[in-house]
Structure 1
């Protein structure tokens, strides 16, 4: 069996596993839209200031996308790795030609495809809610890149957790702080001055600043200073996260 065939077969299995889980489908496709429906009235005020939902709706486009690109790969990949560990599935896969980076690559492909579809649905919902933003081609590269980052991080969490429940708890423990402390819903001006450099440690920050600068009039990227540079950092983090995640998968525990 060729490498392409192995990856395609594993990706098909991953997709089938996803669609069979109604809860996963709901939180991937409909939960972010539900958030928009809940908060549309709040963010539409755009009263100014630095607090939560104080900016115009278009400002929060990357924040809502962050819900999808952050929670979906972290929870799905971490739980999938932990589930394979508990069921000794990696040991069985290790007896086949499939390599562990191929397994993670297949999982990542499925997640990127699902996240891309969910992002399109979310953008349409934002437009329907009255958000004003540009449909920039940067969406096409930023969304997959940040998805790969958190697929890699999810693989790390699933490899280190002691159970599937532990993996899900760890992914939520990572995702929730990042969602609000990565220049998404809260701007740096709303946080202490000393915390601004800490934001640069989050991959989600480069996603949020890059997408906002590319799609929202008046927004400017932070460090390192341009949309292209933000994407370059994110791409480097994606390669590193995938490599570390693949290396830590316990193929033969």
Structure 2
């Protein structure tokens, strides 16, 4: 009889645990939102400068010398626009999360108070990751608006598959930002991660080229980068939804889960 009660109550306890994790994650997110809401325009515009420069220099400049029909879309500008969305979401999702956590740890010194809260470490990670996702979506939303203005294709950049890949990309790089933010000892260390991970990935993550056209040796390197799967997925969702690479969703989802596990462990063992 006791075993039957235990078995019947198990699903309820799992459901209660999930509800608690979700509620606590939203609490952490709300704390970040209170600070973020007064800087919405700044956050939305902060990641727009680099993509705009790339669009003007490569899409309208270099792209005008290339023949139409290259890759997806009718022009090189259309080809690279999904990559610019991926680039902006990666940059702000990662950078915004890292600097937010570093600011709390190294400057305001209120990070210790959050660690003392009776909240599960996975909820702490999810809350910070969701704040990073929000930052990434705000910035990439600005780039999407620019892409729609340039192409006039609203549904290409606002369809469910496009938004799914975009959210997963924000989750991956926000999760990475949480881990880096908990690991670094100074802001100078953040620059090292940015120079050796984010900047190379910006140019090698299939944002400006089709990785299928690369030599085998270089292709194997490019397909190790998460941003490659985002760029491929966004491009296919925008222009070739009938040939959508579902493996991109699987890769990004698996990476987000792995980073969440690492982030939760970092929160559970964090000393400061």
Query: For this structure pair, what is the TM-score category when the shorter chain's length is used for normalisation?
Result: 0.7 to 0.9
Cα distance in 1 for partners of 2:101, 2:179 equals: 9
TM-score when normalising by structure 1: 0.80
- Shift of residue 163 of structure 1? 1.0
Cα distance in 2 for partners of 1:84, 1:76 equals: 12
Cα distance in 1 for partners of 2:106, 2:139 equals: 29
In the alignment, which residue of structure 1 is the partner of 2:141?
120
Q: Which runs of 5+ in 1 are unaligned?
A: 221-225
Cα distance in 2 for partners of 1:173, 1:26 equals: 24
- Shift of residue 70 of structure 1? 0.8
Aligned length: 244
Cα distance in 2 for partners of 1:56, 1:219 equals: 21
Cα distance in 1 for partners of 2:236, 2:101 equals: 35
Q: Does 1:233 align with 2:254?
A: no
* Runs of 4+ that moved beyond 6 A: none
Residues 120-151 of structure 1: CA distance to partner in whole angstroms, max 9, x if unpaired?
Answer: 33222112123768343211210111111111
Q: Which runs of 5+ in 2 are unaligned?
A: 1-19
In the alignment, which residue of structure 2 is the partner of 1:211?
234
Q: Does 1:137 align with 2:156?
A: no
- Shift of residue 99 of structure 1? 3.0
Q: Check the 8 A contact 1:70/1:147 in 2, yes or no.
A: yes
Name which of structure 1's ranges 165-174 and 230-239 shifts more when overlaid on structure 2. 165-174
- What RMSD over aligned residues (CA atoms) do the two structures have, in Å? 3.2
Larger Rg: 2
In the alignment, which residue of structure 2 is the partner of 1:223?
none
Q: Check the 8 A contact 1:100/1:251 in 2, yes or no.
A: no
Q: Which is richer in helix?
A: 2
TM-score when normalising by structure 2: 0.75
SS in 2 for 1:134: helix
SS in 2 for 1:67: helix
